[in-house]
Structure 1
């Protein structure tokens, strides 16, 4: 054990300052993990923090395929000192704690993750002319100093600034020497068209990202935050509501406003949780609404909002793995900037890492019931899809014909109805009074194979009697039907083979059951059905396109 003598005077001394190497630091900070959409969002955050109401993102491509990007806003702008602070790595913290900006690094690191030359053009009410400052990584490497370039904005830059900053204040962020936007260098593309197509894909993804990330700001009817207009090349971005609240079949499953105390209980803040089950695919009001909702395992889970800005979505924060059965479930998780340290918000404002006690509270006290409800909604959707597909394709028609033709050759039992769902069953062991579902079906195609929404005890199959014919009910809600049957319903030979197997199991039961073994056969169906459910639990659900 080390014991420190507290009375002993320290002999520590201070050495000379050891400033980091400017070029190596500037280059190293390019690799902080930004993707393009997150980087642009970090710039937009700064515009919103500056009280902008209009933001436009312009892509410019030169005849030599050199890409430049301009992000202009009509915010409050900056004077010379403000400009210097904004361009400083680790700029001073804003007075407003609720600002979407956080660490004073986003503008620089987000920009240089994709470009080697970053410029700011700005003007506030106190300045008489536009100010411009530039970080050029090549210049930093040449002089090995944190030396910005001061210059006068070009005519094009002034024009772009004035097109948005109509009240004579605002900021224009300029990315030049862009070298990390595309997977290949411009000269490596086969043609100008293929190069333009790659840019178009980037724009389309950015449009969706901004519409989702700033939905509450873009939606004029949302009163939780200031309204803004964002455009790309002057084309307005439309708000995308991940919870589809305008859809009639969206269900609010649970809601909770939970207090969080920090600083030993001195301060109390709130998180808001709302769990929604989206409509089943067939229940969306329009095809466009269904497409925009983008229901999948990649979009289920928590949607994390910091100061009404979406910072992360599409997983369960490590609580669960994403599964198709929960693909309809999306959970709003909203909090204020005061809880940044509690949730360990990262530098890109793109992830949170809640404390273990918060995670456990969500798992134990909030999310279980919504997960069950969403799973049931999904299950009913699959049953409906299976039924519609079976009818559309006549999936069991061949089975019914083949089994009906061959049944007299293998049936070793006779059933005579004597009451509701009760028969006298005669086989090689004698005659017993036996309970079995008796069905009357005018559809002559459903003589032997009867798909049904659900069976009690979760059985996969069960014998029944249809208009006097021995038949089998097949449970469409059982995972075996959904994962094994559904993908092959259009393959008549395979479907007939599967149907024949289950029908044969029923007929074997009819031919051998007696008063002493009735219960054993019931247990056998339950046990086998349960085993099958476990055995195929890790198999993927059929892709939606395979079900159509």
Structure 2
């Protein structure tokens, strides 16, 4: 081989003498477990896959064996996968044919999201034309030699049959076992852990998928199942949390749409909103620190991929708490906007900041003027006399419809760090309509009168919403007291007497 002779363009060209294939070492799988996925973001990534598969219904199920959390499943009624497609889905970076409208992006989400939280990932699927099939990654084996297990067909069909109300002719089940967070739940803390985990998951999915959840034909439910009896111990429907879901804007003339000329992309639309000051709505105050929630809300194919932040175009400040701007990323690939692997943020080049400086709306108003008006709206509200505050309440828990709980959170401030109040139908003396268990934070309802509220139908976990919501408001203060005073005891006796008689009147009709 002749000796290397540098050319005149040596500083621009690097000479090569050949090439060789260097596949990733099996230990690369270990890196997937350290991607920094939060629990809620990981589940959202799995639901993204369900949406890409055309699912109309997704159920996230926590499997529970008494006080022990066993597994987590994400079940959908999407198009499903045959053996070949399942092999591709379980290969790191395996999928490369994402459509322009797909939520998937890098081909690593299923594996990285799952293995960040579980040491065992099983995927079982079926299509209209192929039987149930399954694959399993065990972290330890994958790290050794990339070995992926083929799941027994009989087990695959049994698991599909368990969810035959959702998966009929096609669908997919993603199952996590040996979930690390579940192993940290100490004895007697399962209820508290689940309530906290589900509340956070509801909020995250409700926010980041709010445009999909606003479609009545797409539903996400979160359930807790008894692994032995298959009974539902909890069931909550995820409601959309629109970060722009105010009733009346905080300033007349908004929202406004500005157009920013961004070099390398073209015109980018910025829909600027000013929230009404001191809004009690969960979509404003219930999704984290207000300082973190001002700024840009960036969407990719209708999926929220960044919930607030100024992308280095300015610093967060209290006077901008009411400012939120919606941006839909352009469909065409570009070098200005880059989505993170976890779909929890967008990086931008300086071209975006330069475009903001030139952004105007149809009337010639500048984006800089919008920022000033958002600040002015906040300052003007601060000068006005403070509005009367409603008294904080213990949060509502199991037994109330999720939509009702959302309304209660919108209307009433909640006491922080308090275990929620739950409802349960129980056997009580006939002269009692309800009974309070202050130690367990349970409002027990007499199941003798349950038929009054269900019109002959079989009662569900969240039935009788009217009477439950009234009782929740009536007795909340009693649960907050260290000692129950005589007046409270007398009120409970009064309410029981009236409600029992009302129920008996209804039964006699």
Relative to the length of structure 2, the TM-score reads 0.65
| 307, 318, 321: which one aligns with 1:327 | 321
Which residue pairs with 2:57 in the alignment?
54
Which residue pairs with 1:177 in the alignment?
178
Instruction: Note if 1:210 corresponds to 2:208.
Output: no
| 17, 21, 40: which one aligns with 1:12 | 17
Which residue pairs with 2:342 in the alignment?
348
Instruction: Note if 1:220 corresponds to 2:209.
Output: no
Would the aligned equivalents of 2:119 and 2:177 in 1 still touch at CA under 8 Å?
A: yes
| 3, 10, 25: which one aligns with 2:7 | 3
Which residue pairs with 2:193 in the alignment?
198
Which residue pairs with 1:403 in the alignment?
none
Aligned 1:174-323 pairs, distance under 5 A? 174-179=175-180, 181=181, 185-186=184-185, 189=186, 191-192=187-188, 194-220=189-215, 227-233=217-223, 234-247=235-248, 249=250, 252-258=254-260, 262=264, 271-281=268-278, 284=279, 291-292=285-286, 296-323=290-317
Aligned 1:335-414 pairs, distance under 5 A? 335-339=329-333, 341-365=335-359, 366-385=366-385
In the TM superposition, residue 176 of structure 1 has moved relative to its aligned partner by 0.9
Would the aligned equivalents of 2:125 and 2:170 in 1 still touch at CA under 8 Å?
A: yes
Would the aligned equivalents of 2:256 and 2:273 in 1 still touch at CA under 8 Å?
A: yes
Q: Which runs of 4+ in 1 moved over 6 A?
A: 286-290
Q: Distance in 2 between matches of 1:13 and 1:331?
A: 51
When residues 94 and 319 of structure 1 are mapped into structure 2, their CA distance, relative to the original with a 3 A threshold, is: same
Bigger fraction of residues in helix: 1
Aligned 1:51-200 pairs, distance under 5 A? 51-63=54-66, 65-127=68-130, 129-141=131-143, 144-152=145-153, 153=155, 157-166=159-168, 168-179=169-180, 181=181, 185-186=184-185, 189=186, 191-192=187-188, 194-200=189-195
Q: Distance in 2 between matches of 1:63 and 1:341?
A: 52
Would the aligned equivalents of 1:30 and 1:109 in 2 still touch at CA under 8 Å?
A: yes
Q: Distance in 1 between matches of 2:9 and 2:383?
A: 75
SS of aligned partner of 2:308? strand
In the TM superposition, residue 14 of structure 1 has moved relative to its aligned partner by 4.3
How many residues align? The count is 363
When residues 289 and 112 of structure 1 are mapped into structure 2, their CA distance, relative to the original with a 3 A threshold, is: closer
Using CA pairs under 8 Å that are at least 6 residues apart, name the structure with larger relative contact order, 1 or 2: 2
What is the CA RMSD across the aligned residues, in angstroms?
A: 3.0
| 25, 29, 32: which one aligns with 2:28 | 25
When residues 232 and 384 of structure 1 are mapped into structure 2, their CA distance, relative to the original with a 3 A threshold, is: same
Q: Distance in 2 between matches of 1:347 and 1:340?
A: 16
Q: Distance in 2 between matches of 1:80 and 1:100?
A: 22
Q: Structure 1: where are the runs of 5+ without partners?
A: 222-226, 263-267, 390-548
In the TM superposition, residue 273 of structure 1 has moved relative to its aligned partner by 0.9
Would the aligned equivalents of 2:336 and 2:351 in 1 still touch at CA under 8 Å?
A: no
Relative to the length of structure 1, the TM-score reads 0.61
Would the aligned equivalents of 1:269 and 1:338 in 2 still touch at CA under 8 Å?
A: no
Q: Deviations over 1:427-468 (max 9, x none)?
A: xxxxxxxxxxxxxxxxxxxxxxxxxxxxxxxxxxxxxxxxxx
Q: Distance in 1 between matches of 2:251 and 2:46?
A: 33
